[in-house]
Each structure stands twice: as structure tokens, then as C-alpha cells.
Structure 1
Amino acid sequence: MVTFRPVKKWVIPILAIMIGSYIGFSFLPSHQEFAYKQWVQQLNKNEQKSYHVKTNFLKDDSIAFESNGYWSSKHSKFRIETPVSNGSSFQFDVYLEESQFYIHTGNEWRKGQYPHRFIEELSPLDNPFQWCKEILRNADKITRIKQGEKETYTAFFHTFPEIELQGILLKKQKNSSLSISFQKGQIQSMVFKAAPIRPNEVPFLSIYPENMVYQIDFTLYNGKLPNLPKEASSSIPID
């Protein structure tokens, strides 16, 4: 799932976040500032609901990750599939609870506590709304297009102070964007396209993608979310 594991601190200093947020936000023209506020309001409203979600992640035009499942702010469940070298794929289930997560592969159950490297490598699927709001602070330009009952917001980026996508470190960008579409105020899709510049922290011999596309499709779900199976009670803790 992960391309490399750069040496980095678990938490970005609060001061750096505050400065980065202020600089990025203060340089937006007034009409873009208005679009930014509307966008965040839409995200805040939509993250209170539950969804059936499908995810597709491409690195250098090849599928690196796919998932199908359910997301809510308190409980999520995904079936994740990643390709392996022999042309087949590896599947496993992930359950995200409020204080810990569970991984099910075959007959084996594992569990871990937050924060954890596994969750960093799962991001932004664990909390797409929060991830979007965090990176929007670094937008260099924001557009809003309204066509009837459909609204599409797009943000463009030149650099990030430090974020991760599926465990891949992103800093300077050639041409990267985040687009989110809403229909009647209901979120439909999130598409993040990145053409990153290789950070200095990445070892010389490590593989680093030239382009990436990460997409989540949302369908409002009003049914009962999948419960954590009883078998999970025997989960083996992971560091």
C-alpha cells in the first residue's frame, strides 16, 4: 500500500499549521474567500451523515488501491483491495471505531489504537471531510461552478507544508487540484489530482509517483451500518 516511509514527526507543530493556514487564506481574493467559506460549510454539513463509498487510487496511471464500504464519523467499514506483483490482488476488511481500528484478513483479526501508521497510510479514507478541510487551508486558488442544482468546487495547489496521501509525502506540486461536487447540497464525489515534485526526504532509490488520482464517490446511506463482528473480540494488538 505504501511507496515509502519518510522519517517525520507524528504531529506537525501547531505554530506551523497556524502560520500556513493564515498565509494561504490571507492571499485569497475576496470572492475566493467567500467560495472557501461556502465550501467548508458544505463539508461540515455533509460530514454529519453516513455514506456508501467507493474509492479508486491511481499512481502513474496504474491502480494502487480500491475500496468499497461505508463511512460515518463514528463508525466505518471498508473492503480494501490492492494489486500484488503476480497479477492477483490482496483483500482485507477494515473497521474504524471511535477509539481503535480492526483489520480482518482471512481468519485473523488485528486491532490498533490511534494514532497509528496504518491510519496515516489509509488517509484520506478514514476521514475525507477533515482531510479536505485541512488541505484547503493551503489553496492558491479556489473556483466554484454552479450548473442548475449541481455545484463543483475546485482548489489548486502549488505547495503543502506537509501532508500525506496513502502514506505518500506531498510538499511542492507541479499541478495539483481538489474537486468536490455537490448535487442539491449533497456530496457526490471528491477527486484529488496531484503531480508532486519529489521531496528531498524521499530516499534516492525509493519509488515516487509522478502523478496520482484519488477519487471517492459518495452515496447517502440511511440504513444500518455494518456492526463489528463478535470474532473481533479475539483480535491481536498491533504496535
Structure 2
Amino acid sequence: MFMNLPDNINYKELFNFIKQFLTDERLDRFYEVINDRITNVQLILEDVYQSHNASAIIRTCDAIGIQYVNVIEKRNKFNPNKDICLGSDKWVDISLYNGENGLIDCVNLLKQHNFNIVATSSHLSDAYTPETLPIDKPLALMFGVEREGLSDEAISLADNYLYIPMYGFAESLNVSVAVGISLFTITQRMRKANKLLRLSDEEYYKILCEWTLTSLSNSEIYIKTFLNNKYENDR
């Protein structure tokens, strides 16, 4: 989850100011990673509270290039373990939704941006697999809490359904494993079909600002200095 930056700030100008305080190696790494970030695949996690699962999911998202994770907190708090995340929570944008209308608010916002909402379950009929799920529209994959899975509300809000075929005695996978298999398979298909969407210019510089400020001590000082310099230049 990222820090709040001032409203109406010019992210490109801010980044061009603060990047001078990074090493060349760090800056090159930021450019390398951000150019592979994906915007047309997002996650919705409903009540995933087990620390090890939450942490592994965030780390997987970072590794695969998923930038946006939406967390629905109904009964349980989302609590990643820093030792398992290994810092990945600093690089992934996590949006929290809580309260009675958290899920519907999240889904409605994504649908306004043309996302297909995909509910995952091992018990749904007429479901796609990660190899057959249509990839012509942006996708928001919903995963639920271990054992219980998604709520009836989440299932009812979905446009499509997804399952991972099982060939052994186990009827389901650990949620973090299911997330990894689904994301990797779907994004690889998108890569081969040239259907991955990258960050907009505004998102690009906003995230670079957030990553840079996260990497710097006393980040508020850099923001204040930038704003003071801009004020003086604009006078």
C-alpha cells in the first residue's frame, strides 16, 4: 500500500526531481520492472486473512508483473507477513475495501473500466480453465478464503468462472498456489497473443514516484523540497 501524495501533483516533474537521489543501478532496475507491469489483469481477494497466504500472493503478483491487488475485508483483516513478502508489498498497489458494500464497490469500479469479473472455484460447473478463459477483455480474478472459497455474493457478481483441473485425491489447491498458476498461465497467454496492456503515462510516473519515495529515508522532505522549488519557480 503506497503513501498518499498531494493532490494535483505533476508526477513526471516530481520523479524527474527525486530520481537524482537514487543510484544508477536502482533507477535502471525501476525502469526494467515498471516496463513489464500489467494493467489488464488484477486480483480481488475476498477475506484472505492467513498471513502466509496473503504474503505469498503479494510476492507472486510482484514477480509476475501484476500491479493492482484489490483486498476485500469483510470478517478478516488482510495481514501479509513481511518475512514472506520480502518487500514485495512495497512495489504492488494494494487497495482495501471494507464494510458491507466493499465487494460491490470494488466490482462496480472495475466494471466501469471494462473488466470481466472472474470467480474462481473448484466446484463451479461451466467454468473455464486458465488455458481457456477468454482474454479479449481486462480480467479481475477473484479468490476467496482457504477452504470456504468465495462468498455467494462474489459468485453472483462474476461474469465468468474459473477452475484449475485436479487429477489427484485433493479437491482444491492452496489459495496462493491457485493464484500463481492462474496468473502465470493467463499472463503468458496474453504475452504470446500481444494482449497485455501497460501502464498509462500518469500511472507510470505515479508508481515511479511511489517506488522512489519508498526507497528514500525521510521521503516527506523530498516532497516538501520539490513543492517549495516549484512554488519559487512559479512566482
- Which structure has more RCO (C-alpha within 8 Å, separation ≥ 6)? 2
What TM-score do the two structures reach when normalised by structure 1? Answer: 0.28
| Bigger radius of gyration among the two | 2
Bigger fraction of residues in helix: 2
What TM-score do the two structures reach when normalised by structure 2? Answer: 0.28
